[in-house]
Structure 1
Amino acid sequence: MKRKAVFRNSQQNQMSMFPEDLGAWIPADHPVRVVNQVIEQVNLKRLYDSYKGGGSSSYDPKMMIKVLIYAYLDNTYSSRKIEKALKESIPFIWLSGRSTPDHSTISIFRSKRLQGFEGEMFKDIFTDIVLLLAEAGLVDLQDVYTDGTKLEANANRYTYVWANRLSSSKEKIRERLEGFWAYLEGLYKSEEQEIEPLNLGKKASSEKIQETVDRINQLVSDKEIKAKIAKEEKKNLRAINKFADRYKRYEDQEAIIDGRGSYSKTDHDATFMRTKDDHLKNGQLKANYNIQFSTSNRVITHYSVERTSSDMATYIRHLEGFKERYNFYPKQVTADAGYGSEENYLFLEEKGIEGFVKYGSFYREHRRNFKTKEFANARNLDYDEKGDFYICPVGKKINRIGETKKTLRSGYIKETNIYEAADCKGCALMEPCLKQNSNKKTSTNRRIHRTPNLERLRAKARKLLLSEEGIRKRKQRSVDVEGCFGELKQNKGFRRLMLRGLKKVNIEVGLLAMSMNIAKLAKHKARTMDEVCPKTSKTTLFNRNNKSIAAKRG
């Protein structure tokens, strides 16, 4: 006899005698519980104080912070999707206490409210979370790994302004004005009259341009002169009357660029940079921000958002930001060759920081065939320190002839010594030797440019990098900080920012960093269920001592 199938009860309209506890539906090891417990221990007084009294009631900022951090942890970045999750997802509903702010409220809180006090309020929240992790023994703030990655800005990919084009456009305006002025001089000479010469220079202002245009209009107001102006020059005259406005627009755009190479018209703080994920596969530049992370045990201890593509130019500002956050510099730092410059090495030395920082030619210097293949390279030539000269491969002296000083954009002055051989004509090795000259048009003799301070600092870095600890740190760096970038872009799928403007992007990167830190904490604490998911509200995630945290922050 065939048995009758039995099905479980699934009545949709079944009523409950008692209100249902949403927490019962959330697993004990769910990350949302860690988010809730961590934010409960963070000091949000400054955030609460930023609210003014009166008017309609506001949503609890602590709840809003929890929801935003968990949303980024859950890979939910859009304010509309967060609004939807607050109505449909049990973890979101439980975390918000059944509050349902709309997407506009979420967006305003994320982009404006968290910017309070120039973002300091938000930085405090991030710092408190890192210090909680340090208390739990998951972070060593004295030993950090640093690297950078490019994140695409929320900007149009094809609306850009280039600094070089602005300079050339301004130069064309000056040239056309000077050319027309010279033309007027010729006309006045034909009338046996003279006008003073015009010299705008390379740093003319829009006011000077307007003054010149007014003078030109005054000169052509003479009926006899006006009658002699050729038809083509009359077209130029009509265009000249618009030059002052155009020049002023170029000046305003240069103020926005602020020393960068470009900016996006839809996000003025974004800079066009070359990235690995080229969507057109043709080496095109995209509007990006350069995101710098410092990590310890794959926990993000510090982040900064830069508008320049060079990691090298960001390192000192990044470390200064670390000190501003924690009131001390780390004792040890590890970074790749993108950070190895004379200025950066000198900064580490002055601050007493042990720097395991590579430089561009670190690996090339240790190739087996380096010395035999590149015999003319200055590193492989004999140097007499007492006499301050090099000896070329054929035994001739390369004497010092002078020095140069170059001021970098950061203000750092780089000093370089120049050495030159007396006569290389007729030498059998002349051709391969001269290929090593940085500027082959300067001299027909072998030249060497040497930066003694950089060589000393590189030697110091090389000794650290080749030590047992240096080898271990170089291996760990690729796992530690680059692992965070892999988590961010691949696992979380975050490759394009949602907000525009440097201040707002700082908020968004901070939310990403906090969510990633809490996710790592949740995984770490999953083994000890009593700590991660306490059965009573009296148990805390950490045995936190607020005074000790304040002491760590200075």
Structure 2
Amino acid sequence: MPRLKTPDYGLKLIPVDFAQQVLPGTFEFALCHLVNNELNLTALRARYTNDAGGAPAFDPAVLLKIVLLGYSRGLISSRSIATACRNNVLFMAVSGDSAPHFTTVAHFISSLGNEAQALFTEVLLVCDREGLIGRELFAIDGVKLPSNASKAKSGTRADFEREAAKMEAAVQRMIGEQKARDAAGCDDEAARAQRTRERLSRQAAKIRDWLARHPDDRRGAKGAVRLSNRTDNDSAKMATAKGVVQGYTGVAAVDGAHQIVVDAQAHGTGSEQELLLPVVDACAQRGPDTAICADAGYHSEKNLAELDKRGIPAWVCDNGYRQRDPRYADQAKHKTKPDALWDKSEKAKEARAASKNKRYANTDFTEAPDRSHCLCPAGKRLYRNGGECTINGYAATKYSGAERDCVPCDQRTRCLRTPKTTKVRQVAFFRGKRGHIESHTERMKRRIDSTEGKRMIAARFATVEPVFGNLRHNKRLTRFTLRGREKVDGQWKLYCLVHNIEKLGHHGYAN
């Protein structure tokens, strides 16, 4: 047997040179150089008024380094960041052996306010100076994250009125019941009933106080009533792939050259359509030829009309673009696959069998760009049946299959309604109403379906989605910890700031 040295993982008292812990080429090296030499922190330092008296304060530069380093390591709570400053050598080196209390860290983050935008802009200018912003493509997308708000305390003013009235009625009913028990000489439950009445009275009083401070319901972009929230009235109830959350939508515009976040905003709404134009307006780094690319959540006729009016080259998907794109032709079979781990019922089997034998629709056929033919799901050609025709007032192009292809085809039962009597399949592709003025949505569909459009959509995926993967998985940003749109917006900008500083470090900044 070989004799090996035993590693010692116990406590060691060793001298540490903090300057040797921050190595060139790392995130912390780029962070320290950026904060010490590039950022203007005059506005943050001007908040302190202890020059004539009082205890010394922590330098905002130190606090900013600590917070950004913590976010880069997946530490989102102020307690975990403060603990790292006491126990982690790297945090000690970056902070100069400062050990602020977690309340100091929390106050610094929540009080940044509009200063977060100024810091974000300064770092963006450094990224531009280093040649990391290409201005060819800005990809826009958003992520819905829960916040420090209670989903159960959402509703309209009418909902809150009913809830308060219900509590007050329950208190009055309990008082009547208690009087009856007192008259009967039975008071075994008097203490517990008193505590319940006090709790309900407090809750009803809080609701009445909230209603007095918020005399109007929240309104959406089109004037519709939007649910309020008594914990954080700037947040919103939003549907996500993992259920309904109470939180904010973090929107980011990402440059296609090196995935630099050129704008970051957080909004308390789940409707992404109303967020597109504010993000486009805020992209100060955008050039006249910069293409804007966004997913279907930002698609609306109003947005497309405004972008066209401004002369901004844009590529905004609609909800049906995947059905028209042959690259997604197989996506339906993945959605209908059975889940062997849980769904084994006969009803689920019947539903899967029905979906498997569903008849082919027009969207399952692929039309050639020159409209000379189209391809069926079996890969056979359907040939053009005459010129352009009119069907119910709509311009259309009709295609018909050949008997040599359709008659022996093994998919006739899925293609034809009456396969025993009908020989070939016919398909019509509609172009819109005759004499109809083409809308911005129809023009955008044509752009998205073009070869250039498909390339831009693929570029959007490759540009913005890795940024959200970095922030959510690597940085563990699973929720916002603050309340109020201004504070949450500042926290979202700090996380995007961490991403940009990482890019600077990876590209040799300050080395």
TM-score, scaled relative to structure 2: 0.63
**1:144 matched to which residue of 2?**
138
- Gaps in structure 2 of 5+ consecutive residues: 165-205, 330-359, 366-388, 396-431
**1:484 matched to which residue of 2?**
467
Measure, in 2, the Cα distance between the counterparts of 1:277 and 1:89. Answer: 35
1:357-436 mapped onto 2 (5 Å cutoff): 357-364=316-323, 393=391
**1:98 matched to which residue of 2?**
97
Aligned residues: 370
Shift in CA distance, 83/12, structure 1 to aligned 2, threshold 3 Å: closer
**1:62 matched to which residue of 2?**
61
1:31 to 27, 31, 34: 27
The answer to whether the 8 Å contact 1:333/1:356 transfers is yes
Superposition deviation, residue 466 in structure 1 = 3.7
Shift in CA distance, 345/4, structure 1 to aligned 2, threshold 3 Å: closer
Deviations 1:261-302 (A, max 9, x none): 213221111111111122xxxxxx321211111101322111
The answer to whether the 8 Å contact 2:149/2:232 transfers is yes
Shift in CA distance, 266/350, structure 1 to aligned 2, threshold 3 Å: same
**1:508 matched to which residue of 2?**
491
Deviations 1:394-449 (A, max 9, x none): 6899xxxxxxxxxxxxxxxxxxxxxxxxxxxxxxxxxxxxxxxxxxxxxxxxxx99
The answer to whether the 8 Å contact 2:236/2:269 transfers is yes
**1:274 matched to which residue of 2?**
239
TM-score, scaled relative to structure 1: 0.59
Superposition deviation, residue 107 in structure 1 = 1.0
- Does residue 338 in structure 1 map to residue 297 in structure 2? yes
Superposition deviation, residue 336 in structure 1 = 1.1
Superposition deviation, residue 249 in structure 1 = 6.7
- Does residue 462 in structure 1 map to residue 445 in structure 2? yes
- Does residue 133 in structure 1 map to residue 127 in structure 2? yes
Deviations 1:511-541 (A, max 9, x none): 111112222332x23xxxxx45xxxxxxx45
Shift in CA distance, 160/487, structure 1 to aligned 2, threshold 3 Å: same
Shift in CA distance, 246/14, structure 1 to aligned 2, threshold 3 Å: closer
Shift in CA distance, 38/330, structure 1 to aligned 2, threshold 3 Å: farther
Superposition deviation, residue 252 in structure 1 = 5.1
Shift in CA distance, 131/256, structure 1 to aligned 2, threshold 3 Å: farther
The answer to whether the 8 Å contact 1:32/1:95 transfers is yes
SS in structure 1 at match of 2:483: coil
**1:154 matched to which residue of 2?**
148
**1:48 matched to which residue of 2?**
45
Identity rate, percent: 23
One-letter amino acid matched to 1:357: V
Superposition deviation, residue 142 in structure 1 = 5.0
Measure, in 1, the Cα distance between the counterparts of 2:25 and 2:66. Answer: 18
**2:383 matched to which residue of 1?**
none
Measure, in 1, the Cα distance between the counterparts of 2:60 and 2:246. Answer: 32
One-letter amino acid matched to 1:393: I
**1:322 matched to which residue of 2?**
283
Superposition deviation, residue 345 in structure 1 = 0.8
Shift in CA distance, 461/394, structure 1 to aligned 2, threshold 3 Å: closer
Superposition deviation, residue 508 in structure 1 = 0.8
The answer to whether the 8 Å contact 1:134/1:141 transfers is no
Shift in CA distance, 479/164, structure 1 to aligned 2, threshold 3 Å: farther
Shift in CA distance, 318/451, structure 1 to aligned 2, threshold 3 Å: farther
The answer to whether the 8 Å contact 2:143/2:468 transfers is yes
Measure, in 1, the Cα distance between the counterparts of 2:277 and 2:393. Answer: 42
Superposition deviation, residue 164 in structure 1 = 7.1
SS in structure 1 at match of 2:151: coil
Measure, in 2, the Cα distance between the counterparts of 1:77 and 1:246. Answer: 31
Shift in CA distance, 392/134, structure 1 to aligned 2, threshold 3 Å: same
Deviations 1:289-344 (A, max 9, x none): 11111101322111111122111121112222224xx5877721001122121111
The answer to whether the 8 Å contact 1:154/1:497 transfers is yes
The answer to whether the 8 Å contact 1:274/1:286 transfers is yes
SS in structure 2 at match of 1:499: coil
